[in-house]
Amino acid sequence: MQSDAANSASQIDRTQARTIIESLSDGVVPRHGVSFFTAGRARWLKSLSEDLDDLSDARARDGRVRIFNGRNGDGKTHLMHLLQDLALQKGFAVSYVVISDAVPLYKGPAGRARVASCYQSSFAGSSDRC
């Protein structure tokens, strides 16, 4: 019996594979395809998936806030890309913005403009400009 990652790997095309390899060789987490080399995150992904399922329920009245913290190299960005892919698969609109000195969270208009410019959904397609 093949694993999900093995089944998925057989479905990746050359362009996607090349993009993943280039990202990894540059030392950055690829925007897409992180599930091909994910291990040890099943419990977290299950919990996040359940949150998304709850939020997609028409009766849902409250949102959720999850804060991911850790040291350099702990996999925070990797986990965020997994969550982004999961949310897109479930039909959510997603905006992935790195908060920094250039895009501070506390400066409303600049932060909102960046969030809007990085919008993605399964309908709108992917945006690689962010």
pLDDT in tens, 85-100: 899 889 888 887 777 7
Nearest residue to 44 via CA among 6, 72, 78, 3: 78
6 vs 46, more confident: 46
- What is the rounded radius of gyration, in angstroms, for the C-alpha atoms of the chain? 16
Cα angle for residues 77, 126, 42 (degrees, 5° grid): 40
**What is the rounded end-to-end Cα distance, in angstroms, of the chain?**
38
Question: What does the pLDDT average to over 62-75?
Answer: 83
Statement: residue 9 has pLDDT above 60: no
Query: Percent of the chain at pLDDT above 70?
Result: 76
Q: What pairs with residue 125 in β-bridges? A: 121
pLDDT in tens, 14-53: 998 898 899 889 988 787 788 888 888 899 999 999 999 9
Cβ distance 97 to 111 under 8 Å? yes
Statement: residue 58 has pLDDT above 90: no
What CA–CA distances, in Å, run from 91 to 12, 50, 56, 79, 122?
Answer: 21, 14, 9, 18, 6
Which pLDDT score is estimated for 107? 67
**Residue spans per domain, the chain:** 4-92, 93-130
